[in-house]
Amino acid sequence: MKIVRPLMLVFLVAFTGVLFAQTTPLPPKPSTPPKPVPAIPQTPIPPSPQPNAQAWVLMDYANGQILASNNMDQRRAPASLTKIMTEYVVAAELRAGKIHMDDKVHISEHAWRAGGASTDGSTSFLKLNSEVPLKDLLYGMIIQSGNDAAIALAEHVAGSEQAFAQMMNAYAQRLGMTGTHFINASGYPAPDHYSTAHDIAILSRALIHNFPDVYKIAKIKAFEWNGITQHNRNTLLWSDPSVDGIKTGSTSEAGFCLAASAERNGMRLIAVTMGGPDMNAATTGDEALLNWGFNFYRTHKLYAAGQVLATPRLWKGDADTLELGIAEDASVTIPRGRYDQLKATLEIPRTLVAPFRKGQKVGTLKVTFDGKPLVTEPLVVLKDAPQGGFFKRLWDAIRLWFHHGTGITSSPAPTVTVSPASSTAAPAVSK
């Protein structure tokens, strides 16, 4: 009799837990948004333009998607497209407070000779042993593509152009430019100095995103210094008002190159051509790629950083649910009129047991278009989820035992639906 009573007590507690688990109301399921209706009827997309260049690429700025390309990972001499990285490093040093726009920069003989001996005539007309404000050098390098200005900036930042090139390569590695290696700051032809159209697009995207104030210099059409007017070599600035950068480049080895970016109706694209027969070919090639991209594609912001995408059940926690989202905005670029072919899924472990820290990865957001993956982002915890008290943890342990048998599994969570931050309806989340 003494043994039976404790067993009955345990059975009663367990039965009560099961009953509680079965009768506790579940949180209401989010409502399913209406199926999105394409704003523009679906039309066939013609093949992309074929610029007269050895390598080229068209990239969407918002998400880095490649819309069209040819030999985009082929290593080539980048000529003065190199100066985009010089600009990036200088901008980073300015942001860090290590240099300043009003610094007086000494013009060494090395920098002076580079300006006078340039094969493509790119010079800011700097005088030997003069002192020039850093801001003027930056403007001269970006607008006029002055080799002397680029080298003077490199020496001011790192002490020597060779040391500066090491900084350039470190930043290239950090940005994921796997097909790039720099020897100098100007793009003057040198063995083992190369990049790719894809890498230049990656760099351009990072420059626009990380240093927008410095990037704005690229849209200035002319700059006067020391009584000399220096015109921007990017002629697209005159023919297309949506273009606001980025850089031209040419040498006998590299051919004619152009990295251009434009923004229309909130959508930005980046086009890069390398190895063209003349600058007109590079210009018309970039212009054709940009027009094609804007005419036939559209960028959709699906989910915002920090937006709650799922609130799965949390066991043994102070709260009963765990808020999950993504750390960065998620967007896709797809053919116009085909939004309904997007499909989003949330892969979440079936059982989540506290504690969790803010930013901890829990599951994955995947977005596909026409069956092809476009977005794969980790789902992260949006706020700390500490453990509950002793009795909460004990109670959930009993419920878990009856709810899942012996423990935790990694099968997907039930289907949920989320809504976007923008006015455009988000794709339904499904299994």
In angstroms, rounded to a whole number, what is the distance separating the alpha carbons of residues 215 and 126? Answer: 23
Half-sphere exposure of 72 (CA within 13 A, CB side): 19
pLDDT at 182 over 60: yes
- Domains of the chain by residue range: 4-30+304-404, 55-299
Catalytic status, residue 83: yes
pLDDT confidence of residue 384: 96
Catalytic status, residue 80: yes
pLDDT at 17 over 70: no
pLDDT confidence of residue 391: 85
| Coil, helix or strand at residue 274 | strand
Interhelix angle 147-158/161-175, nearest 10 degrees: 90
Q: What is the pTM of this model?
A: 0.83
Q: Which of 145, 195, 204, 250 is catalytic?
A: 145
pLDDT confidence of residue 404: 59
Structure tokens at 29: 């399921």
Structure tokens at 80: 């003065």
Give the containing element (helix H, strand E) for 224: strand 222-225
DSSP assignment string, 339-404:
GGGEEEEEE--S-EES-B-TT-EEEEEEEEETTEEEEEEEEEESS-B-B--HHHHHHHHHHHHHHH
pLDDT-based confidence at residue 121 (cuts at 50, 70, 90): low
Q: Which of 20-24, 134-138, 165-169, 328-332 has the lowest mean pLDDT?
A: 20-24
> Which residue from 338, 344, 300, 425 is spatially nearest to 35, judged by alpha carbons?
425
Q: What is the pLDDT of residues 47-100, one digit of tens each?
A: 999 999 999 999 999 999 999 999 999 999 999 999 999 999 999 999 999 999
pLDDT confidence of residue 272: 98
pLDDT confidence of residue 74: 98
Question: What architecture (CATH level 2) is domain 55-299?
Answer: 3-Layer(aba) Sandwich (3.40)
Those residues with Cβ within 8 angstroms of residue 165's Cβ, 6 or more apart along the chain or in another chain: 154, 182, 183, 184, 185
Those residues with Cβ within 8 angstroms of residue 23's Cβ, 6 or more apart along the chain or in another chain: none
Q: What is the pLDDT of residues 59-68, one digit of tens each?
A: 999 999 999 9
Cβ-contact 219, 237 below 8 angstroms: yes
pLDDT at 209 over 50: yes
Structure tokens at 385: 């989820």
Q: Which of 83, 247, 301, 316 is catalytic?
A: 83
Q: Give me the mean pLDDT over the 399-420 stretch.
A: 50
Q: Which fold has domain 4-30+304-404?
A: Peptidoglycan synthesis regulatory factor (PBP3), Domain 2 (2.60.410)
pLDDT confidence of residue 54: 98
When mean pLDDT is compared over 68-82, 306-320, 370-384, the highest value belongs to: 68-82
Higher-confidence residue: 398 or 319? 319
Backbone dihedral angles phi then psi of residue 241, each to the nearest 5 degrees: -65, -15
Instruction: Report the chain's mean pLDDT, rounded to a whole number.
Output: 86
pLDDT at 241 over 80: yes
Q: Which of 80, 118, 122, 186 is catalytic?
A: 80
Q: Give me the mean pLDDT over the 188-192 stretch.
A: 95
pLDDT confidence of residue 184: 97
pLDDT at 119 over 70: no
pLDDT confidence of residue 399: 85
- Where residue 341 falls (left for φ over 0; alpha for ψ -120 to 50; beta otherwise) is alpha
- What pairing do the DSSP bridges indicate for beta strands 352-353 and 314-315? parallel
Question: Which percentage of the chain shows pLDDT scores above 70?
Answer: 82
